[in-house]
């Protein structure tokens, strides 16, 4: 019996539209944030869930979900949001 290399699920946050199909198909490893975007367990996919993981990847309408060999996964940096700062208030002297 051939032992498969560990794989992890990763999401392309630019391509993902937050449809949530992946979380329905693989709730053991994918949950949704309050806006419907996936929160993915960084753990390797257990062999017993590999078929469901492949189905979730194939069902993503935006092709945003991927199964990659665990060692090839780049470290994930938390996304930073750019927030525009309002111009400084000026005090009027009266």
* Residues found near ligand SF4 in the complex (CB under 6 A): 11, 16-22, 38, 60-62, 64-65
Those residues with Cβ within 8 angstroms of residue 22's Cβ, 6 or more apart along the chain or in another chain: 11, 30, 38, 56, 57, 59, 60, 65
Residue placing its CB nearer to ligand SF4 in the complex, 18 or 44: 18
Closer Cβ to ligand SF4, 13 or 47, answer by number: 13
Q: Tokens standing for 8?
A: 């992890």
Q: Closest approach of Cβ 62 to ligand SF4, in Å?
A: 4
Closest approach of ligand SF4 to the CB of residue 9, in Å: 9
The token pair that represents 2 in the structure block: 């051939």
């Amino acid at each position: 019996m051939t032992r498969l290399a560990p794989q992890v699920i990763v999401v392309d946050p630019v391509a993902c539209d937050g449809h949530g199909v992946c979380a329905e198909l693989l709730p053991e490893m994918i949950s949704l944030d309050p806006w419907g975007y996936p929160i993915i367990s960084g753990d390797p996919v257990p062999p017993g869930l590999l078929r469901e993981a492949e189905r979730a990847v194939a069902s993503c309408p935006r092709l945003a979900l991927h199964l990659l060999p665990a060692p090839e996964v780049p470290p994930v940096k938390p996304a930073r949001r750019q927030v525009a700062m309002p111009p400084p208030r000026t005090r009027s002297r009266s």
